[in-house]
Structure 1
Amino acid sequence: MLTRRGFLGVLGGIAAGATIAGYDALAAEHPAWAGPIGLELYTVRDRFQKDPADTLKRVAAIGYREVEIGPGTKPAALKGDLRAAGLTAPSGYFEAPKTLEDWKKSVEQAHAYGLSYIVIGDNPVLSADAWRRRAQFFNQCGEVAQQAGIQFCYHAHFHEFAKVDGTTGYDIMLRDCNPKLLKMEMDIFWVTYAGADPLHYWRLYPGRFPLLHIKDLRKGVKISPQQSPKPGGPNPFAPVGQGRIDWPLIFSHVHEAGAKHIFVEQDECAPLPEFQAIKISYEYLRGLRLS
């Protein structure tokens, strides 16, 4: 099974206590989600590796209308496969840059794909000062992307929510980065796994979260901002609607996030086949009258 890093390499070769009944009046005035439902292609990475065109067609047949891609195949070929499947790709997940020169190459590739958003994740750092330095670098990266007409976004996992010097890396990025230069792709699973609250951040920083990963946390999984789920342990991921996350609550407040695109993602689908898992997720979201 490919890791996310391995997947990118392959492509390179080719609110606490609230209840549903207690929604606030502001949330009730807003539609839950009026846009299309998308899929992060990492979910079907093994099949995509073998047959990109067929995989995209099968994704579209379920009802998905957008995908999030990784860097890799020739833009013309990928654009053709997307067009044939009736899909669009507004965003792409790229490797975190070490230098601005590396970043400029990624932005050029994102521009060739026609992406509106370029997304990265990154490795943990151990101090608040290191996070502050990273935030300043991300401001520079955001300027490069902005010049190409692309919005730079950061995708956090769990370690960004670990306490460092009385704060967290996630809070430092949101506080120190220019909100026009860096926005967030929030992964609801990882925020929840880290013991944080998506709604808390949406209320503190409204409009800073144009991209969301819709991923469920299996019931009974121990949460931690310090440690990743153990390799070889129980699969912590579940089809959307079959885990512990309160999706009606999330979507009743999604307007606060400023979300423009949502992508279903399930890092590991076993024991279900990938397409069965993503169909369950899609049908659950449709049942919430999304899309």
Structure 2
Amino acid sequence: MTTRRTFLRGAAAGAAAIGAAAAVPGTASAHGFRRVLRESISIQLYTLRGIIGDNPEPVLEALADIGYRKVEMAGLYGRTATEMARMLRRHHLRATSTHTGLDGDLNQVISDARTLGHRYVVVPYVNYPTIAEWTAFADRLENAGKVLRRAGLQAGYHNHAHEFEPIDGKRPMDVIARRTTARNVHFELDLYWAVVAEVDPARFFWQHLPRVRQYHVKDRAADGGFADLGTGTIDFRKIFAKTWVQEYIVENDQPADALVTAEVGYNYLRDLRY
């Protein structure tokens, strides 16, 4: 990863091999079709964790070269918020969202978020064995959301599949929805995990309107694993045609080649018509 060209060279061959599958959804075009705006496309940096290491700059440069203008953070990779903000600015990237816990020092979370220019501060994962613990978490999330809102930020929650599995007859996701408010907590719906949980993303969107403001756009392979966008089984066109969000965030938890995943994902969303 000594230069941007060296860094991208390995991705080019793989992208060409996958390109046909990724391009198919973008071929349909007619008056009245909708599309994902380029400024709404982002990528979760967790997807690229295996190649970021302790030097995020070549990865950020490569993402910018692909066409991204937004990223979602997942840690600072050994940098301070100020250092990371400078790095992002050098490559004309905005970190509009981040994944972080909210049970710690909220003042530090707010300070870092302001430095980095975040709009959304999203809890990426929690799991509890009892509804009482889920209820307590939801109350903490709502309280943290109030603090963040007063600071000009928006708290959110990112799902996996387990939030839709009942505990004593109650689904944790329903507990979160009931005990938090749209004013203080929005939902970042992970489409892969929703499908795994046999939840219809469009139905969930309308049930909780206007709380779903971000999508993690993650495809599912035929064997149930992760897939690059447009190469799996999830009908994103159908979901997007029935809904709308402010950010479409590319993600793959286990990419075979992270930069190929990033490029295929960006091109898929850019070219998709629905």
**What TM-score, normalized by structure 2, do the two folds share?**
0.82
- 1:175-200 CA distance string (max 9 Å, x none): 22111111111111111112211111
Counterpart for residue 265 of structure 1: 251
Counterpart for residue 94 of structure 1: 100
Classify 1:108/1:185 alpha carbon distance in 2 versus 1 (closer, same or farther; 3 Å): same
- Is 2:175 aligned against 1:163? no
Counterpart for residue 64 of structure 2: 60
> 1:112, 1:85 → 2: CA distance?
16
How many residues end up aligned between the 2 structures?
242
Classify 1:161/1:29 alpha carbon distance in 2 versus 1 (closer, same or farther; 3 Å): farther
- 1:210-269 CA distance string (max 9 Å, x none): 111110111132xxxxxxxxxxxxxx11001111100111111232xxx11111011111
Q: Which runs of 5 or more residues in structure 2 are unaligned? A: 1-24, 26-30
- Is 2:122 aligned against 1:110? no
Please report how far the alpha carbon of residue 29 of structure 1 lies from its aligned counterpart in structure 2 after TM superposition: 7.1
Counterpart for residue 47 of structure 2: 43
What one-letter code is carried by the residue in structure 2 that aligns with 1:137? R
Please report how far the alpha carbon of residue 139 of structure 1 lies from its aligned counterpart in structure 2 after TM superposition: 1.1
Q: Is the 8 A contact 2:219 2:226 kept in 1?
A: yes
> 2:33, 2:123 → 1: CA distance?
30
Classify 1:134/1:42 alpha carbon distance in 2 versus 1 (closer, same or farther; 3 Å): same
Give the 3-state SS of the residue equivalent to 2:212 in structure 1: coil
Counterpart for residue 222 of structure 2: 219
Classify 1:143/1:76 alpha carbon distance in 2 versus 1 (closer, same or farther; 3 Å): same
- Is 2:91 aligned against 1:85? yes
- Is 2:216 aligned against 1:185? no
Q: Is the 8 A contact 2:165 2:171 kept in 1?
A: yes
Q: Is the 8 A contact 1:65 1:88 kept in 2?
A: yes
Counterpart for residue 123 of structure 1: 126
**What TM-score, normalized by structure 1, do the two folds share?**
0.77
Q: Is the 8 A contact 2:94 2:117 kept in 1?
A: no
Q: Is the 8 A contact 2:221 2:227 kept in 1?
A: yes
What one-letter code is carried by the residue in structure 2 that aligns with 1:77? E
Give the 3-state SS of the residue equivalent to 1:203 in structure 2: helix
- Is 2:64 aligned against 1:71? no
Q: Which runs of 5 or more residues in structure 1 are unaligned? A: 1-19, 21-27, 222-235
> 1:124, 1:195 → 2: CA distance?
19
Counterpart for residue 9 of structure 1: none
Counterpart for residue 208 of structure 1: 211
Give the 3-state SS of the residue equivalent to 2:53 in structure 1: helix
What one-letter code is carried by the residue in structure 2 that aligns with 1:67? V
Give the 3-state SS of the residue equivalent to 1:212 in structure 2: strand
The percent of aligned pairs where both chains have the same amino acid is: 29
What one-letter code is carried by the residue in structure 2 that aligns with 1:152? A
- 1:154-208 CA distance string (max 9 Å, x none): 1111111111222211111112211111111111111111221111111111120
What one-letter code is carried by the residue in structure 1 that aligns with 2:74? G
Q: Is the 8 A contact 1:212 1:263 kept in 2?
A: yes
- Is 2:149 aligned against 1:150? no
The more displaced of 60-69 and 28-37 is: 28-37
